[in-house]
Amino acid sequence: MKSRIKFYLDEHVSKAVAKGLKRRGVDVLTVAEAGLLGATDEEHLERAKSEKRIIFTQDDDFLRLHATGNEHAGIVYAHQSKAVGTVISGLMLIHQVLETGDMINHVEYL
């Protein structure tokens, strides 16, 4: 059976993205829902990894963590100038096409 992607949304991501994904049936956990507002990026990586969730972020610090070899369940990055609709469409495509295992220690760019 296909292992569906679940997302963990960084605190800088618009609430509209979370709402849009949830309306489409995607399993989404926000930093606020996880009770981790103000946590370090490393703590976010670890939480997402422990729950096999792909981090969606618009913070390039996560790209640096990836580049330095920090293990993670997957990272999806989009520049902050991306429109909410474009972000949701890109995340939905990833959700529909990829599996959890495809994203381990991998970065996708929107």
Residues with Cβ within 8 Å of 110's Cβ and at least 6 positions away in sequence, in order, are: 76, 77, 78, 82, 86, 87, 90, 91
Q: Give the pLDDT confidence of 17-50 residue by residue, as tens digits.
A: 999 999 999 999 999 999 999 999 999 999 999 9
Q: What is the pLDDT of residues 43-54, one digit of tens each?
A: 999 999 999 999
* Domain count along the chain: 1
CATH number (domain holding residue 72): 3.40.50
DSSP structure class, residue 83: -
Q: For residue 59, tell me if it sits in a domain.
A: yes
Q: What is the DSSP letter of 103?
A: G
**What predicted TM-score, i.e. pTM, was given to this entire model?**
0.94
**Residue 18 lies in domain:** 6-109
Query: Which pLDDT band, with edges at 50, 70 and 90, does 3 fall under?
Result: confident
